[in-house]
Amino acid sequence: QVQLQESGPGLVKPSQTLSLTCTVSGGSISRGDYYWSWIRQPPGKGLEWIGYIYYSGSTYYNPSLKSRVTISVDTSKNQFSLKLSSVTAADTAVYYCASRGRTGSSGYYFDYWGQGTLVTVSS
Amino acid sequence: QSVLTQPPSASGTPGQRVTISCSGSSSNIGSKTVNWYQQHPGTAPKLLIYSNSQRPSGVPDRFSGSKSGTSASLAISGLQSEDEADYYCEAWDDSLNGVVFGGGTKLTVL
């Protein structure tokens, strides 16, 4: 059973860079056909996909966040990371890491999720 | 405003059957598979339905999904109190070249 765990600061100042890491256990981050993802949820609001990375380093970002987002992977540590630059109060949210895989020839879906971590942007 | 449109709320009494709709377009639901997630307060979303109508292991068969054209639906039969949660649909969008979610539907069991 794959498990994911987010870690990082819970408070970030406006204009600074938000940095989070997701540690994957119970499976290799280098497994094929899996994309390692970041998703966020502002308090009381819905889910927003931020982006994901393949173990080879290929990345896919939400066009609305693309200019500020960097997702990277460290296969030696079985971790992947998120950096979001120039944050404002609007970036305050619970940030989830999740795996996106599929079964056979099915479409992709988010099958395993971390518990989420609240990041507040405030001075 | 979400790319996929869901009703903000739905309700039903125990034992009833309720459906939650998810409306999209030809660039997402019309050409891609739809997934559904259940989220209880303070917890991470949980995969409920994938590939339009497939249930992951452990999800009760009370939950079912369907898709027709540019719309999808989640049906919950034999409603139980523990089904009270938020439900989200999700799909890939070819125009945006990214994953899109519905705005979520809050299900209340009366």
Determine the pLDDT at residue A32: 84
Determine the pLDDT at residue A104: 82
Contact residues, chain A, for B100 at CB < 8 Å:
49
Separation between Cα atoms, residue A56 and residue A103, nearest integer Å: 20
Judged against a pLDDT cut of 90, whether residue A100 lies above it is answered with yes
Determine the pLDDT at residue B66: 98
Task: Name residues whose C-beta falls within 8 Å of residue A70's C-beta, 6 or more positions apart in sequence.
Answer: A82, A83, A85
Which candidate from A48, A63, A109 shows the least CB-CB separation from B35? A109
Mean pLDDT of chain B: 97
Determine the pLDDT at residue A77: 96
Judged against a pLDDT cut of 90, whether residue A31 lies above it is answered with no
Contact A49 B2 (CB under 8 A): no
Does A59 reach chain B within 8 Å, measured CB to CB? no
Contact residues, chain B, for A102 at CB < 8 Å:
51
